[in-house]
């Protein structure tokens, strides 16, 4: 084969190849157009379905939105109603609270006035307690009030004069006729100085002064008011303050022991009330003993009367026995008389029956 033929054959093969490639490309293009048409149709159907679904969803959302709107409106109305009621109740509660607060403020104002008055009274009381004579009058008055409330008149006497011409604040008469002395003049200066002490040295000096003052007062009470055979063997020293009494007992035991040795007993207002109750019981027991003695005497008289009544009853019993014996003898005599009368009656009746046929001789005998 020649080169020309080869060339022509090669050209023909190339042409056939190009035609084949063109045909394949044309078929591919047609298939692509068909595929695109199918995809467009599917896309159109999908768009239509989507539009339908969107419309259905829009309608559903619209319905749900309407229901939600109604629910929100209902809930809003309910909340508004409850809020209105709550605001009304809160307003009423606020008004009530304000009125109560005003009442309490009025009470607080009254209490403040009372506190102010009490402060002035405390100031007055402090001024009273500062003065020795005023303090003595205060203690005397409190002691007299306790004694007067607890004992009947005649069982005590204030400013009673003893045989040594001393006059204690109060004398309580016991069943043995010996008075129990009560002193109400307590030396408060030492206690005040002890309380107001700032340093240890001041407190030590005040404690020493307190011991001296109270000890001297114990000795004065024992010397002036304890008279053997006339007063009781012990006396009472009245402390008009419970706190002062407790402070002395807690911090100054030596003073308390010294008082016991001096036969003087410190008493606070509560202890004085207790002592008054003990005195009441003692007086009551004494009255009961006196009543028991009177009852014993009356029982003795009663037993004498009963003995005399027994003697008289026994005498009367003797008379009754004698009377019964006399009556028995009388009855025996009556029975004998009745028996004799019955025999006589029987004799008379029998004699009449036997002499019924012989009357003459009876008459002659009777005449004889």
117 with 216, same domain: the answer is no
The answer to whether the beta carbons of residues 158 and 144 sit under 8 Å apart is yes
More confident: 248 or 190:
248
282 with 135, same domain: the answer is yes
Q: How many CA atoms lie less than 13 Å away from 223 in the CB half-sphere?
A: 6
**Predicted pLDDT at 138:** 65
* End position of a domain, from candidates 126, 156, 180: 126
Residue 43 lies in a domain: no
Residue 174 lies in a domain: yes
Question: Total structural domains in the chain?
Answer: 2
Q: SS3 for 189-204, per residue?
A: HHHHHHHHCCCHHHHH
Residue 274 lies in a domain: yes
Q: SS3 for 104-154, per residue?
A: HHHHHHHHHHHHHHHHHHHHHHHHHHHCHHHHHHHHHHHHHHHHHHHCCCC
102 with 244, same domain: the answer is no
Residue 40 lies in a domain: no
Taking only the tens place, the pLDDT of each residue in 276-327 is: 888 888 888 777 777 666 777 777 777 777 777 777 777 777 877 888 887 8
153 with 278, same domain: the answer is yes
153 with 285, same domain: the answer is yes
Q: Is the pLDDT of residue 349 over 70?
A: no
111 with 161, same domain: the answer is no
136 with 121, same domain: the answer is no
178 with 273, same domain: the answer is yes
The answer to whether the beta carbons of residues 172 and 155 sit under 8 Å apart is yes
**Predicted pLDDT at 288:** 79
More confident: 118 or 46:
46
> Residue 28's Cα: distance from chain center in Å?
114
**Predicted pLDDT at 127:** 45
147 with 287, same domain: the answer is yes
Q: DSSP 3-state helix, strand, coil percentages of the chain (rounded to 5)?
A: 80, 5, 15
The C-alpha atoms of residue 252 and residue 209 are separated, in whole angstroms, by 12
**pLDDT above 70 covers what percent of the chain?**
84
The C-alpha atoms of residue 95 and residue 82 are separated, in whole angstroms, by 19
Find the mean pLDDT for residues 83-90. Answer: 80
149 with 258, same domain: the answer is yes
Please report, in angstroms and rounded to a whole number, the separation of the first and last CA atoms in the chain: 252
Find the mean pLDDT for residues 190-212. Answer: 79
More confident: 349 or 111:
111
Helix (H, G, I), strand (E, B) or coil at 5: helix
Residue 332 lies in a domain: no
Domain span including residue 95: 88-126
For strands 156-158 and 170-173, give the pairing: antiparallel
Residue 275 lies in a domain: yes
More confident: 90 or 131:
90
252 with 110, same domain: the answer is no
**Predicted pLDDT at 359:** 42
* End position of a domain, from candidates 230, 259, 292: 292
Q: Is the pLDDT of residue 136 over 60?
A: no
137 with 265, same domain: the answer is yes
Residue 41 lies in a domain: no
Q: Is the pLDDT of residue 131 over 60?
A: no
**Predicted pLDDT at 355:** 47
**Predicted pLDDT at 333:** 82
* End position of a domain, from candidates 250, 265, 292: 292
Residue 191 lies in a domain: yes
Q: Is the pLDDT of residue 215 over 60?
A: yes
């Amino acid at each position: 084969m020649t080169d020309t033929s080869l060339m022509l054959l090669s050209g023909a093969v190339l042409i056939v190849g190009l035609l084949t490639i063109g045909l394949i490309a044309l078929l591919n293009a047609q298939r692509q157009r068909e595929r695109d048409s199918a995809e467009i149709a599917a896309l159109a159907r999908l768009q239509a379905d989507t539009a339908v679904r969107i419309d259905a969803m829009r309608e559903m959302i619209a319905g749900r939105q309407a229901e939600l709107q109604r629910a929100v409106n209902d809930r809003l109305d309910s909340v508004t109603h409850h809020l209105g009621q709550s605001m009304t109740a809160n307003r009423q509660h606020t008004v009530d609270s304000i009125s109560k607060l005003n009442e309490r403020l009025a009470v607080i104002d009254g209490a403040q006035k009372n506190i102010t008055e009490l402060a002035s009274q405390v100031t007055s009381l402090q001024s009273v307690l500062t003065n020795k004579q005023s303090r003595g009058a205060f203690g005397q008055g409190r002691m007299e009030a306790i004694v007067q409330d607890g004992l009947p008149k005649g069982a005590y006497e204030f400013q009673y004069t003893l045989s040594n011409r001393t006059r204690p604040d109060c004398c309580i008469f016991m069943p043995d006729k010996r008075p129990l002395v009560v002193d109400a003049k307590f030396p408060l200066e030492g206690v005040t100085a002890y309380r107001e002490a700032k340093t240890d040295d001041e407190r030590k000096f005040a404690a020493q002064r307190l011991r001296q003052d109270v000890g001297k007062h114990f000795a004065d009470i024992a010397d002036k008011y304890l008279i053997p055979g006339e007063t009781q063997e012990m006396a009472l020293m009245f402390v008009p303050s419970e706190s002062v009494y407790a402070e002395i007992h807690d911090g100054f035991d030596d003073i308390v022991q010294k008082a016991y040795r001096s036969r003087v007993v410190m008493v606070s207002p509560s202890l004085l009330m207790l002592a008054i109750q003990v005195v009441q019981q003692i007086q009551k027991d004494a009255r009961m003993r006196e009543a028991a003695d009177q009852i014993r005497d009356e029982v003795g008289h009663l037993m004498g009367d009963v003995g005399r009544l027994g003697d008289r009853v026994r005498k009367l019993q003797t008379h009754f026995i004698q009377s019964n014996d006399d009556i028995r003898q009388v009855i025996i005599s009556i029975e004998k008389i009745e028996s004799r009368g019955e025999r006589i009656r029987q004799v008379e009746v029998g004699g009449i029956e036997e002499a019924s046929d012989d009357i003459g001789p009876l008459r002659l005998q009777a005449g004889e």
